[in-house]
Amino acid sequence: MTHTLPETAPPSPTITSGAADPKVLALLRRRADGLERRAQDKETPSYVGMNMTRKRSLDAGSRAEDASRLRRLQRAYRAVADGLEAGTLPPVLARVTDPKLIERLVHLGPDHAAALAGVCLTNEEFEALRTHAPASLVLGSVKALPVKYGWPRKLLPEQVNGVLAVYREVAPRKPFDHIPVNCQRFVSEARTWEAMNTCGLTTPALAEEAAAALRQLAGTRVDPERAWRDRVAALERDLVGYRVPGFWPTPAPLATHLATLAELRPGLRVLEPQAGKGDLVDALLALEPELHVEVCEQNGRLREVLEAKGYRVIGENSMALSGEWDRVVMNPPFEGLADIGHVQHAYRLLAPGGVLVAVMGNGPFFRQELVARDFRAWLAGVSAEVTSNDPDAFKVSTTGHSTGVQTRTVRIVKPPLG
């Protein structure tokens, strides 16, 4: 397939304050608006209701990166339009109004933008032009360029216009039609080169400067809320395939149920002593945002997620905690009846009149070890309410930490003083 180049590059007016072309502004803003649906589609959670695997996590990460690139380009379009309108663009961007060129500069960034100022001619393209224009002097000068075997020839700046003239002369004969697409570079690179020159980006240094300026403009418009969500999501994806003994994240429906049982109200001090990646705290704050929540977590990777979410981490070993909290909501480790000790210690941390809500494994409720029998007697003594959870509650996890273990919910109200 033969591509065609315009006889001359389309003019791009120099923009000064108050003289921005309304059509250019409208085009850039229309392009920015047009990216919204694509970005939202990439940001839509995938694999909802499915257990996360490493492969699915990598795919979700790829979608997130695509969304991030689209958002950066969207911000760049809007920043250029607003800067043109206000006359506040850096001088290097004063004529950079071509959406396609903006896209390439933004995506490549300052580290790779210099490549846009160069044009290459593959060996296949060179031979095709030589066949149709054997007497061309400019092609003779191109032939003299040093080149490694099989590599494309990088044209000198003074050669590009001459090769363009040769190409336009022979274009009606479709000289590149027989060349595989992956062996064609000249037309697309020459088109970009012309756009760069029209915008005043005539050297690699100017291309790098323009790309850096665009990245900076786009960076000043980052939505902090979206950036925070993206960081948390990335940290959670990194947990997929990472084994943490005793870590079974609380599924969202169960977490919401536990939060409801806690009878929350504004101003309460709440403890999550084995917080994991914060699923229970997420549910608590979704139900009542005006809580004073403190968390404890021994695993460093999980603490990093908690800190990224902005939760107050007060320790690593929950069994060493002291103090009083109005509510304790927890999902302790189940292995080896460890949840028994965690729940009883949490009760000691509960303020008079406080409420403890915990997920526990089934073991403490039927096993015959002394610690399990004593625990059942203790539960009766504190008037605990015990209910069975959905048997499949933990079979799906957003980080792949799923289990088929059967669980129960324990709710205890500590008697008030007096």
Q: Which CATH architecture has domain 244-413?
A: 3-Layer(aba) Sandwich (3.40)
Q: What is the pLDDT of residue 9?
A: 39
DSSP state of 96: -
DSSP state of 295: E
Instruction: State how beta strands 269-272 and 325-330 pair.
Output: parallel
Distance CA 98, CA 89 (A): 15
Cβ neighbour number for residue 219 with a 10 Å cutoff:
12
The answer to whether residues 195 and 9 touch, using CB atoms and an 8 Å cutoff, is yes
Cβ neighbour number for residue 381 with a 10 Å cutoff:
8
Tens of each residue's pLDDT in the chain, 418 residues: 445 554 443 444 333 444 689 999 999 999 999 999 999 999 998 888 898 999 999 999 999 999 999 999 999 999 999 999 999 999 999 999 999 999 999 999 999 999 999 999 999 999 999 999 999 999 999 988 888 877 899 999 899 999 999 999 999 999 999 999 999 999 999 999 999 999 999 999 999 999 999 999 999 999 999 999 999 999 999 999 999 988 999 999 999 999 999 999 999 999 999 999 999 999 999 999 999 999 999 999 999 999 999 999 999 999 999 999 999 999 999 999 999 999 999 999 999 999 999 999 999 999 999 999 999 999 999 999 999 999 999 999 999 999 999 999 999 999 998 7
The helix (H) or strand (E) run that includes residue 76 is: helix 54-86
Q: What is the pLDDT of residue 5?
A: 52
**Per-residue pLDDT reduced to its tens digit, 109-130:** 999 999 999 999 999 999 999 9
Q: What is the pLDDT of residue 14?
A: 38
- The domain limits of the chain are 22-222, 244-413
- Among candidates 138, 83, 108, which has minimal Cα distance to 204? 108
